[in-house]
């Protein structure tokens, strides 16, 4: 399992470099990211979260009992639409908290698979939100930068408490006694 980089590590605020399409080393990295994501009960993970500044994400928003990960090389949001919706989001790099983020419900994303084939996916719901969240990571944005100013202040305070209590990646809430 790869080590997950947690905030406030400055690496999380850097923009990732595009991947070389067809790069064979991406398959190994994607599989390692996939294992790390599942081991921490995540539904998405971006390469910067494991210390690699490449434009690669892995997402799986399907049923928990079925694993069907999508490995997305150089994903790019083509469009988002719909009235913005607020929902709580957790993040492997910001353990112990959930943050209210406003996002448009639909996203259309272009990406390449690990074989170098180009795809376009449209989604709403959890997958639409997850795609936007993980692509934010590739652009150097964490939950804190995606939140409204008021929510950001609340989230930063809650995150400091969670860190002091020992929150680990995969934990979305932690009480004051350090229990998830």
31's enclosing H/E stretch is: helix 25-39
Low-confidence ranges of the chain (pLDDT < 70): 174-180
What is the structure's pLDDT at 64?
A: 81
Is the Cβ–Cβ distance between 139 and 15 less than 8 Å? yes
What is the structure's pLDDT at 171?
A: 85
What is the structure's pLDDT at 176?
A: 40
What is the structure's pLDDT at 71?
A: 98
Q: Is 122 an annotated catalytic residue? A: no
- Where residue 124 falls (left for φ over 0; alpha for ψ -120 to 50; beta otherwise) is beta
Is the Cβ–Cβ distance between 131 and 79 less than 8 Å? no
Name the residue among 145, 144, 149 with its Cα closest to residue 159. Answer: 144
Count of CB atoms within 10 A of residue 127's CB? 20
pTM here is 0.93
Active-site residue, selected from the candidate residues 34, 89, 134, 171: 134
CATH 3.90.45.10 fits 10-164, yes or no: yes
What is the structure's pLDDT at 26?
A: 97
Q: Tens digits of per-residue pLDDT, 70-114?
A: 999 999 999 999 999 999 999 999 999 999 999 999 999 999 999
132's enclosing H/E stretch is: helix 125-138
What is the structure's pLDDT at 63?
A: 84
What is the structure's pLDDT at 65?
A: 83
């Amino acid at each position: 399992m790869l080590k997950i980089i947690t905030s406030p590590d400055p690496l999380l605020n850097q923009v990732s470099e595009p991947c070389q399409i067809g790069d064979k080393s991406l398959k190994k990295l994607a599989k390692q990211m996939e294992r790390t994501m599942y081991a921490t009960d995540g539904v998405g993970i971006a390469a910067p979260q494991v210390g690699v500044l490449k434009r690669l994400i892995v997402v799986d928003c399907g049923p928990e009992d079925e694993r069907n990960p999508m490995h997305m090389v150089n994903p790019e949001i083509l469009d988002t639409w719909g009235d913005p919706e607020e929902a709580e989001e957790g993040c492997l790099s910001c353990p112990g908290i959930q943050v209210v983020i406003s996002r448009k419900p639909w996203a259309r994303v272009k990406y390449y698979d690990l074989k170098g084939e180009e795809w376009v996916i449209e989604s709403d719901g959890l997958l639409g939100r997850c795609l936007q969240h993980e692509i934010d990571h590739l652009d150097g944005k964490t939950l804190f930068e995606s939140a409204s100013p008021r929510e950001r202040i609340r989230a930063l305070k809650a995150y400091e408490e969670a860190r002091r209590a020992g929150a680990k990646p995969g934990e979305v809430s932690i009480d004051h006694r350090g229990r998830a």
